Amino acid sequence: MTNDAATERRADATTARLMISVQVEVAWGKLQGGPYVGIAQDRTDFPFLDALGLSSYPYLGGYADPDDVPDDYYSRLVTGNQLSEVVLEGGWPSRNVSAQITSSPGEQARYIARQAELLDKAGAAGVLQITFTDLAISAFPPPTNTGLIPFAYLGLVDTVLAPKPALTTWDSVFAVRYRP
């Protein structure tokens, strides 16, 4: 279906850049408990790629601190593949989400800065902050509410729109002028 849609877009002579999103932690083997696997299979499955969308939640891949995320976390994915990268979703929580995943507002802010460094090293084209606010877990019925906990505290503001330290960091990253 995706390849068919890409063929249709190309037939329309669109100038739109076509992309898919990959889970960075899967490419690094972190969610499967294995070695780095990269995106070669994705390149085979989706040969139309003009750019690579990234979904990245390093804390779910076992990184306990933003500084533990390797310098080539994003750039390694496209080594030898001339693809621009864009973070389409991801983040780092501002509080503990389990006994294994601990965090704080300061750590979340450090991640926003670290992610900007990683994206600069990769020559990325952009980053989206998909969750501006934390999720109000109580608004979701069980068991959905507990399934959302790892993603509930990714916002730059809390559920009553009070800014968290990450907002200031995001604003400073957002203010940097893009230079292709």
Q: Encode pLDDT of 153-162 as tens digits.
A: 999 999 999 9
Question: Which one of 80-84, 115-119, 147-151 scores highest in mean pLDDT?
Answer: 115-119
Domain spans of the chain, in order of start: 2-174
- Alpha helices, DSSP H, located in 12-158: 24-27, 40-45, 105-122, 144-147
What secondary structure, in 3-state letters, does 104-136 show?
CHHHHHHHHHHHHHHHHHHCCCEECCCCCECCC
User: Residue 56 forms beta bridges with which residues?
Assistant: 90
Q: What is the pLDDT of residue 80?
A: 87
The whole-angstrom separation of Cα 170 and Cα 28 is 25
CATH number among 3.40.50.360, 3.20.20.80, 3.40.50.300, 3.30.470.10, domain 2-174? 3.20.20.80
Q: What contacts 51, CB < 8 A, 6 or more positions away?
A: 17, 18, 19, 83, 84, 85, 86, 125
Q: For residue 122, name the pLDDT band (cuts at 50, 70, 90).
A: very high
Inform me whether the pLDDT recorded for 74 exceeds 90.
yes
Q: For residue 26, name the pLDDT band (cuts at 50, 70, 90).
A: very high
